[in-house]
Structure formats: C-alpha cells, structure tokens
A and B are shown apart, each in its own frame.
Chain A
Amino acid sequence: MRYAYFLGCITPLRYPGIEAATKIVLKELGVEVIELNGASCCPAPGVFGSFDLWNWLILAARNLDLAEDLDAKIVVTCNGCYGSLQEAHHLLEDVVRREAVNEVLAKIGRRYEGRTEVKHVTEVLLEDVGAEELKKRVKKPLKGLKVAVHYGCHFLKPSKIRGHGSPEAPTYLDELVELTGAESIDYLDKLMCCGAGGGVRAGRLDVALDFTLEKVRNIKRAGGDVIVTPCAFCHFQFDTGQRELMSKGLLDKPVPVAFITQLIGLAMGFSPDEMGLNDNFIPPKYLEKIS
C-alpha cells in the first residue's frame, strides 16, 4: 500500500487540517504515503474543464505521470481532484487519445503510459484497510453524534466511470461514518450538490451560497450535529460558505464541518487539534457531545 498524496488546491492552501489529518490517520493504519512533488492543480474538472477540456486533459496527464514515475498509486482528498484524475486516467486508456496527449507531454520531456491508479481516500480506507480493521482501531467511539453525510457529486458521478454503484441511494460513506460509532442521519435532498462546482462558486457566489443554504437548512431540520464530507471543495463551501451566509444575514446558526479522515482520526483517539478541527471557521461544537 504505497500512495502518492495528490494535494490539489483547497486541501493544502485553505484547509491544511485535512492534509494533516489524512497523513496521520493513514500512517497510523499502516498505509505508506509519499509526497507527489511538483504536482499542480488537478486541474479542477468543472472549472478548467469548462474553459478548455484539451488543456485540462494534458495537465491531468502530467499529474498522473508524476505518480507513474514514482511507481505509486495516487490518493486524493477532494472530489474535484478525484473527478479530474480518475476521469483522465479512464479517458487515457484509449491509446489514440493517450498518444495525442503524449505528443504535447513530449515537449516537456514526459510520457504517460496509463499506469497510475487513482483512489479516493475513502476507497483506501474501506478497500485497502478494510471495515473490520478500522472498527478495531476505534478507541473513542463517537456515540450519540448525528452525522449528516454529504457525498459530493463527483465522488459518485459519472457513475459509469466512478464505479461506486448507483448514485441514487449510496451507502458507501454512511457505512464508513458508522464504523466510528456515530449515526449517519437521513435528510432531505441528501445527494444534492453543495453549489460550489462547475465554476459557480468562482463565477456566481450568490447562486452557490443559495445551494449551500438549502442543504444546511435540511441538515438542521434533521438534527445533524456535523456535516461530514469526503471532498475538500465541499468542505470549503460548507465551512467558508456558511460564514459568508452569516455575514450576509442569511444564516443564524451554522452546522460545523469535518472531513472524513478528521472524523475517523477523532474516533481513533487523536485530538481535535491534531486533526485540525479547530482550523475550520465554524467551531466544532459537536465535540461537547462526545467528550
């Protein structure tokens, strides 16, 4: 189990707590994580993919090639990075397309052979480490905690390429969350987008925030203590976005946010500071419930 950690942009540059927690948790679970030196933005599928898909594919191929050089698989902590790199890997299985991309990469002395596997950190946790082992590692069960799971769109879709089953009623993340002893609650429009993707956050912030507000309202109605995501960009949208909603007077009480590895680390006995939970804008009030 050797993985090169593809950081992307939001994780290292806005929510480094996600990076720290992921490294600590994976190390503790015996997964070897190495740096992917010199990586760029994935580039973001809905943003750079909307600008120029050809450029997007070549830059994604360069990132994949960095890992291929290290003979490592890639692990990501953002659905955007997952979306780009996993889809690019899939598209580059086509030899004709890969050769066309390699013609450009040759000009910077690179060549991608199509060997880099791309895994989301939740896949590493559930498939490499396994549910049984994870359960054994829980030292501090998060009993009584009501978790509102937010999958994020690009973790599941396009389902044909992602391969996590139907995107209509997934249980993948709920199962992972419940291994910690917490309860994964149901809520209205649970699978709805956070609003940030496709360049909407950058281009039309009010529209993005309106998505977020709807989700947060639904989560509050269902009694969620914390929003748990497998995506740094959704995490960003829920944490920073709720702060923006509050400053606009559109939201009173926010719901705190935790990344999936931060929640698991907490259940494994790491402190909230080690997991970077106090680095979010919204204080982790739910900790009172489990201490």
Chain B
Amino acid sequence: MVLQASWEFADEVIKRGSRIFPEEELKTLYACIQCGTCVGDCPSGRRTAWRIRHIIRKTQLGMREAVLSDETLWNCTTCYTCQERCPRGVATTDVIRIIRNIAFEEGYALERHLAVARNFAKIGHAIPITDEVKEKRKRLGLLPVPPTTLSYPKALSEVQKIIEIDGFLKKIQR
C-alpha cells in the first residue's frame, strides 16, 4: 500500500480539540519535527512500547486508523513531561487526550475504562463506596457517606442529565 500522506487527521484532531482548548495551542501539532525529546523523557516509554513521537508523526501523516487502534495509546499517564519539554512547544498531552476521545468514541475504549465511566454514570463517582470505608469514616468522625452525589439524589440527577444531554451516556452504553 502506498501511503498517501495527508493533513486531514491532524486537522480533525485540532478542530475537535478547539472546542476545549485554544486552537492556536493545538496548531502546534503541525510544528513537530520528530526530534525525540518527548520519547526520551517519557516514563511510560521506558517500560512499554508506547512512543509518543510515533503517534504525533502518524497523526501528521493522516494514518487515522493506525493511531486510533494503537493499543499503546492507553499507556500514557498524562504526566505532561513531554509537553513541558517539547522544544517546538507542541501540546502533546492535550493532543493525546483528544486522540483518545476519538478512539473512545469509535469503540477502542478498554473494557475497564468503560466500567469506570459506567460507575460514574450510576453514582457520580469514578469508584464505588464500600462498607469498610463507611466504618473508617465513622471512626474518623466523618459522615459515613460523604456529602457528594452519594448523599444528594437531586445532585446525582443533575449529573445524569448532563451526560445524557451531552452525548456521553450513549458512548458508554455499548
């Protein structure tokens, strides 16, 4: 297969991300010259096959499917070391999160991540409460159940309405 390089995917990433981040910051994606400072500093790249530099290059080349389906995409801890040190000022970590958003939407989410998201949809927290924690809380002089969405049904229904309106619920109901 002859690779037809195109800016289409990079443009898509920037356009999509500009709803959240200033567009001019995301346009730094065009500026990467593959110097490798990012991979050299990446604590995840030290121990896994995750290569932030490859993802950026493949994104520039328009290799959409290869990027979205890359399983190592989920090895980034979003520590921002590469973004802070990039000599070209590329917003690498923000770009990764945007690419992950697209991958998540297109069915490449990890099952364990969907479980976290569904727990949030149910109770408003990323993790459940346990009886052991309720006991600990009491012993420490705290309310057994914290005064969050766990204690306020109206607050929980607000959160649930938001994720229904903004489309997030649909993405996790697969």
Q: Which residues of A contact B (CB under 8 A)?
A: 7, 9-10, 12-14, 16-17, 19-20, 35-41, 43-55, 57-59, 62, 91, 94, 97, 100, 104-105, 107-108, 110, 153-154, 157-159, 167-168, 189, 192-193, 195-200, 202-204, 207-208, 210-211, 276, 279
Contact = CB atoms under 8 A, between A and B. Distances in A.
A102 B168 CA distance: 17
Interface of B: 17, 19-22, 43-44, 47-48, 74-81, 83-84, 93, 96-98, 100-101, 104-105, 109-110, 112-113, 115-117, 120, 124-130, 133, 136-137, 140-142, 146-149, 151-152, 154-156, 158-159, 161-163, 165-168, 171-172
A152 to B, nearest CB: 9
B126 A44 contact: yes
Contact of A153 (B79, B101, B128): B79
A9 B126 CA distance: 7
B171 A51 contact: yes
B133 A14 contact: yes
B137 A53 contact: no
Given A38-B158, A55-B167, A58-B166, 20 more contacts: A10-B127, A12-B146, A17-B140, A19-B137, A37-B152, A40-B148, A40-B149, A41-B126, A43-B126, A52-B171, A57-B20, A62-B158, A105-B162, A108-B161, A159-B84, A192-B79, A198-B74, A199-B113, A200-B44, A202-B113
Given A91-B21, A104-B162, A108-B158, A203 B113 contact: yes
Contacts of A158: 80, 83-84, 93
A43 B149 CA distance: 13
Contacts of A19: 137, 140, 142, 146
A152 B22 CA distance: 25
B97 to A, nearest CB: 5
B141 A153 contact: no
A207 B147 contact: no
Contact of A62 (B17, B93, B117, B159): B159
B149 A39 contact: yes
Given A14-B127, A59-B162, A202-B116, A157 B136 contact: no
13 contacts: A7-B146, A10-B127, A13-B130, A38-B155, A40-B125, A43-B120, A45-B78, A51-B100, A51-B104, A52-B168, A59-B159, A167-B80, A203-B74
Given A13-B129, A157-B84, A51 B140 contact: no
A203 B112 CA distance: 6
A95 to B, nearest CB: 13
A40 B43 contact: no
Contacts of A104: 162, 165-166
Give the 7 A-B residue pairs with the shortest CB-CB distance, closest first: A38-B155, A157-B80, A198-B78, A12-B146, A40-B124, A193-B79, A20-B140
A45 B77 CA distance: 10
A63 B158 CA distance: 11
A40 B153 CA distance: 11
A54 B100 CA distance: 13
